[in-house]
Amino acid sequence: MEQAEIKNVLTIAGVDPSGGAGVLADVKTMSALGTYATGVIAALTAQNTRTVTGVLPVPAAFVAEQLETLFADVRIDAVKIGMLGSEDVMQAVAGSLVRHKAPKIVLDPVMVAKSGDRLMPDDAVAFFKENLLAVADVVTPNLPEASVLLGREVTEVSQMHEAARELWQMCGGKTAVVLKGGHAQGSVVHDVLYDGASFYDFTGARVDTKNTHGTGCALSSAIAALWARCDDLPRAVELARDYVAGAIQTSGRLSVGGGHGPVHHFARLEKCFL
């Protein structure tokens, strides 16, 4: 019996040397979920599990060159966009994706740090809304990021349906919204998918751990990889949440730094090699 062709998935994001977030985490996630991962580097960082000490943006022209060279040779079946940084890089990425008619674009709006600090100034947020939300097929904000995008506080589970609908409208009615509720209080984590026609609610038990570095990267990458494979967005979101939950639950087996540690991207594959 002939096996199905493996899908190629692209991540466009920054590099976290500790491997918990950014392109390295995306590549691990996409690989663990049975796709072939490709990556375009939009920024370099100096960081570990405790802190970020520096960010070095990649020139927009070189980001564009990476994309053009990749698309000239490799079929891309889905895309995940993470931290891009500057407006010129955002513009270069959006232009290339539109030009090459890239499919199944999942946008993770990296706007707010775990500390609560804003990572994107107001003028860049406006540019982000106009140029990147317009090209995405799915956007995956957490509650603080939804608050920035909407210009009002979204903190409670009871607000999530309304916020997801407003975000969908903000995106021009073509971009599905996966609103992540991990920042809300309670022992249950509630996420919402709204595709313009239906709400899909997903819940799961909150795991008591400090190893949550890069969970947003893992989820958005997992959605891109699984959507490339199954063509069913609600199912891809459901499976992506299951994957990330398992990666968080087994993260205690890792020993990476002394701060907010990474999740265990390859937990489900360990038994295959022993």
Give residue-wise pLDDT tens across range 74-87. 999 999 999 998 89
- Determine, yes or no, domain membership for 3: no
Do the Cβ atoms of 36 and 5 come closer than 8 Å? no
The pLDDT > 90 percentage for the chain reads 69
- Quick check: is 180 catalytic? yes
CATH number, domain containing residue 260: 3.40.1190.20
Please say if 217 is a catalytic residue.
yes
Options 35, 140, 212, 250, the catalytic residue: 212
How many whole angstroms separate alpha carbon 120 and alpha carbon 57? 14
Q: Is 212 among the residues known to form the active site? A: yes
pLDDT band at residue 1 under the 50/70/90 scheme: very low
Amino acid found at 26: D
36-47 and 52-57 as β-strands: parallel, antiparallel, unpaired?
antiparallel
Identity of the amino acid at 35: T
Task: Kindly state whether residue 1 falls inside one of the protein's structural domains.
Answer: no
Averaged pLDDT, 261-272: 85
Give the domain extent around 13.
8-273
Q: What is the pLDDT of residues 241-257, one digit of tens each?
A: 999 999 999 988 998 98
Judge whether 62 lies within some domain: yes
Structurally, the chain folds into a number of domains equal to 1
DSSP code of 274? -
Cα separation of 199 and 159, whole Å? 13
This prediction has a pTM of 0.94
Of 45-49, 103-107, 124-128, 262-266, the one with minimum mean pLDDT is 124-128
180, 181, 250, 261: the catalytic one is: 180
Containing 154, the helix (H) or strand (E) segment is none
Q: Indicate which residue of 19, 20, 181, 214 is catalytic.
A: 214
Choice among 7, 22, 104, 217 that is catalytic: 217
Confidence of residue 4 (pLDDT cuts 50, 70, 90): confident
In a domain, 2, yes or no: no
Model pLDDT for residues 218-233, shown as the tens digit of each residue: 999 999 999 999 999 9
The pLDDT value recorded for residue 53 is 87
Highest mean pLDDT among 101-115, 175-189, 199-213, 229-243: 229-243
Average pLDDT of the chain, as a whole number: 91
Least confident of 22-26, 153-157, 221-225, 269-273: 269-273
% of the chain with per-residue pLDDT over 70: 94
* Given 216, 250, 261, 272, the catalytic residue: 216
What's the residue count for the chain? 274
